[in-house]
Chain A
């Protein structure tokens, strides 16, 4: 009895119908995802339709949502299962099918590459001004509250609290420091304006905070819109309160307070990851075609210094020519400040080689298969003639 059901399930999983249905669902998802990019932005649309198991929907303004469509991850998963099952069921392990085997293995690899990058890829960036040396990358999608002891001019001691922690806790101890932070209010997104005399007073008592009016805003997933992560908090050092401060990504220069001869700066900034090596921007170049504004090329001449390896060398990063170093890839992404600032996109994706391998496998596979078919049809033709 169980056997019969198992067989039926196996037939279903390995069926052509399932292949076609999955491909069709994927097509619909691709269409929906493309259309949704206008209101949601690429990131939001991809998260909603592609990198989810189910597509959720709820009426505007209400809090409940229901799944209305399978998401890209689910369809991709089913398609992979179907591909595996049908490969083993239908494909005989013979040389005549060698091409098709390669094609199917390549496809499985390609789909898994998308899963790997959805799960493991980290996108950071590094902004370096000419002459500057930077040993960290920043993650533009997550913020942190940085309390930096800048007393020693040669060395900064950094205490950082991720925004996700600020959102959850009311009090945070900074390990290794005498500071405790009491979080008064956390804003994932907010609008900051100058306080007018008629506005109610701010909770903030120190720094720029009292003169700023802050209003909470809904989080935007559109990458063209910035979430102004902000927090109202009270630093307490060894039992002594230093008042309530406002820190926000929308504020420019960091604010600071002094405790027993130690000066601490406060700011919200993109989360930093420090690297065991540093990059120095020697020169950024940006050429245009004569008499036009059409960019001809962008390039950054950087020096990598890695003391742990005793390495120090120059590298030119330019369009279509990234630097791959220690598991990270540095791409020329952007520039600014009158061509003296270079912004590098820094990507960490352990699966970056998979699509390359997959592409080679599928191409070879299709070529082998077509060659075998061609030989067969030529043979038939010859037999007809003779």
Chain B
């Protein structure tokens, strides 16, 4: 069975919420919609205080190149346009909405009928992706219209749909595939058309037999969709690793997937693309897992963007268990600990993971014994122990010469380190410093 060539680790899977059917999350009374829910510049608010908005109405316009439109997930009145602290306490521009009823834009098709035919031309598809504010839902929230506008000197050969979900605990992609297989396949066909590639590969790890069977059965009804089961190994869901696993190609250092003829999108993105193109529904909802070993119940929700983390916890489990140690947005390997529970969720949020005290804190750090486990685990073939030493001694440019920027921050090195050295922290710091040096040099 296929997998990527280099490195990788096997963290405990802990997929305990796979059986939880996707529920609709109730509407809050007031909501905050951040203007930076994507990679790049913040969107510019295009409504004013006191304006009435409907669900799906454009409220944040993408003016910069690297930006995505933001639509209102609620109907109601704009209370204020002001900064709001995100999950990590950093103030971001935001629009506050007093929710009144649930009135949708009339252009949005809310019926349950599934529309298979798509008559749009490739160019019109990317235009519509831009209009609907679609971003990649695999974590990086890269604006989709930029990804699918291929430069004239490059050619896409493969469309790869990332349904690997290699992070422990997360099950949102699993549930989407179980419940919306047909919509996903239509979404994939649309993306395939936008790129003009013959085949699309859906990569699914072997620990998800249910979704593999469902997707295989559904893909048989569509032309050019191949479901590719993969051997379980973290970080298979990372773009470059997935390309390697499916096509055998390697993305060179500093290059993008399109340079080896590949375009990778998340399975959640494919679902969002279906809804945007066929149903005129902008990206205002996403599927989110609320999970944790010590929680009384596990949930998968379809949540409107802008619901607060506190609301999610209060509605799903009531109160947090008294022994809660950490709340993580995203998976345990790459996610970030939430320090502000009153923050709203964004388009890219994939889970609320509640970690128990006993598992939350780090083990004491000791000295590097040069065992090389981090090198064996690194899926990019880098030398984490070396970066650690270089960054500590402020030899940032040397670290840059050893391709520190190639690090995908998957955390395999930290996970495998027997000395519990904060390797990933040091590498991240080194990357930040190196980028700052490069920026200064450019000027």
Q: Do A and B bind each other?
A: no
